[in-house]
Amino acid sequence: MRFLITGGAGFIGSHLCDLLLAEGHHVSVIDNLSSGTAANLSHLRDHNLLSVTLGSVFDTRLMADLVDQADLVVHLAATVGVKLVIQSPIRTLETNALGTELLLQLASEKGKKVVLASSSEVYGKATKVPLSEEDDLVVGSVVRQRWSYACSKMLGEFLALAYFRERLTPVVITRLFNTVGPRQIGGYYGMVVSRLVQQALSNDPMTVYGDGGQRRCFSYVGDVVRGIYELSLEPSAVGEIFNLGNDQEMTINELALLVLEVTHSSSPIIHIPYEDAYDSGFEEVHRRVPDLRKVRQLIDYKPTVGIREIVESVAGYFKDEEVRHREHECPAPREMIESPLRNTREPK
């Protein structure tokens, strides 16, 4: 089968490439490297089943060509990370909503299936535990930039289901919960596991936002991409929404202590008010736990990697001298453009 992955040089996309290629599929990637990095795919540079295009999902002619060649599209291209969302609200809304709409238009015209990667952020401030796919979505005020990401991903879901119902476009929606693992960028995007691990390895102060009592469920990227892959092949998943994640909770304070234990770091743990980390009036969600019954019933989805193993794998990744250098030298996404990939072509 021929897969097209938008955002395939990103954290999740590169791991999905690993899985699909291991399963013997042809994989085509398009990425503008605005948040992904060419280095994420450098270990695959000589793989004869992989092709990589440096380009934008807004390049309609290019995307039409790539969608036409694919059997199935996994749409991962998005603006991600709380820091980036707050700093770049226009980019967030345009990429996540308009980019998704353009892709759905092309897929609909060409009769191709789309697996859309959405986010647990769409649940917003909902307090129900656990959160199931048909629960209400409770989003905060429009004056809080934090919720622009949730709204953009929510609109993507509405669009996908609209194309399914009105134009019979086969779509599958996955809501990803706190996906973590190697290759995830920490500092610039605010991803908590990678940020804390990097700080601990450098013996820098480990920054926990708020009081650290907020609870999260961390999902290993390998488990999540396996779920995406199996759902993409399951006919009964079409037209449906599925939570993908891990339902085992921990507080951010507990996470910080675990990182200290795993890395043997001497870093102090310091707590920073949200308004200092992000902006004034920032609203945090205290708990967010996925209900996994639906996906378990359909594809027998089972998280296999616990949080200790996740932290160990992230620490091992950042202990690599080359990775540490790249993270230090590339604090902003636009500086990641130079590509070591062999099979890269420029957009027409």
Q: What is the pLDDT of residue 144?
A: 82
pTM: 0.91
* Residue 234 confidence class, pLDDT cut points 50, 70, 90: very high
pLDDT at residue number 89: 78
Q: What is the 3-state secondary structure (H, E, C) of the chain?
A: CEEEEECCCCHHHHHHHHHHHHCCCEEEEEECCCCCCHHHHHHHCCCCCEEEEECCCCCHHHHHHHHHHCCEEEECCCCCCHHHHHHCHHHHHHHHHHHHHHHHHHHHHHCCEEEEEEEHHHHECCCCCCECCCCCCECCCCCCCHHHHHHHHHHHHHHHHHHHHHHCCCEEEEEECCEECCCCCCCCCCCHHHHHHHHHHCCCCEEEECCCCCEEECEEHHHHHHHHHHHHHCHHHCCCEEEECCCCEEEHHHHHHHHHHHHCCCCCEEEECHHHHCCCCCCCCCECCECCHHHHHHHCCCCCCCHHHHHHHHHHHHHCHHHHHHHHHCCCHHHHCCCCCCCEECCC
pLDDT attached to residue 346: 42
Averaged pLDDT for residues 131-136: 97
Position 83 confidence tier, pLDDT thresholds 50, 70, 90: low
Q: Largest alpha-carbon pair distance within the chain?
A: 58
Catalytic residues: 149
pLDDT tens digit string along 271-305? 999 777 776 667 888 999 999 999 999 999 999 99
As a whole number of angstroms, the distance between CA 114 and CA 71 comes to 9
* Spatial separation of the C-alpha atoms in residues 222 and 97, rounded to whole Å: 26
**What pLDDT, on a 0 to 100 scale, did the predictor assign at position 331?**
39
Q: What is the mean pLDDT of the chain?
A: 89
Q: Is the pLDDT of residue 97 over 50?
A: yes
CA–CA gap between residue 112 and residue 299 (Å, rounded): 22
Cβ neighbours, 10 Å, residue 168: 12
Given a cut of 80, whether residue 236 has pLDDT beyond it is yes
| 189 pLDDT higher than 60 | no
pLDDT at 330 over 60: no
What pLDDT does 334 receive? 38
What digits encode the pLDDT tens for the residues 157-178? Answer: 999 999 999 999 999 999 999 9
Q: What is the CA radius of gyration of the chain?
A: 19
Domain 2-345: what homologous superfamily?
NAD(P)-binding Rossmann-like Domain (3.40.50.720)
Q: What is the pLDDT of residue 90?
A: 84
The stretch 49-76 carries a mean pLDDT of 97
Share of the chain above pLDDT 90, in %: 76
CA distance 238 to 102: 20
Q: 245-267: b or e for each residue (b if 16 or more CB lie within 10 Å)?
A: bbbebebbbebbebbbebbebeb
Higher pLDDT, 219 or 334: 219
Residue 341 has pLDDT above 50, yes or no: no
Q: How many other CB atoms are found less than 10 A from the CB of residue 94?
A: 14
Cα 16 to chain centroid distance, Å, stands at: 11
pLDDT of the residue at 35: 83
pLDDT in tens, 200-212: 999 999 999 999 9
Q: What is the C-alpha to C-alpha distance for residues 289 and 130, in angstroms, rounded to an integer?
A: 5
**Domain extents for the chain?**
2-345
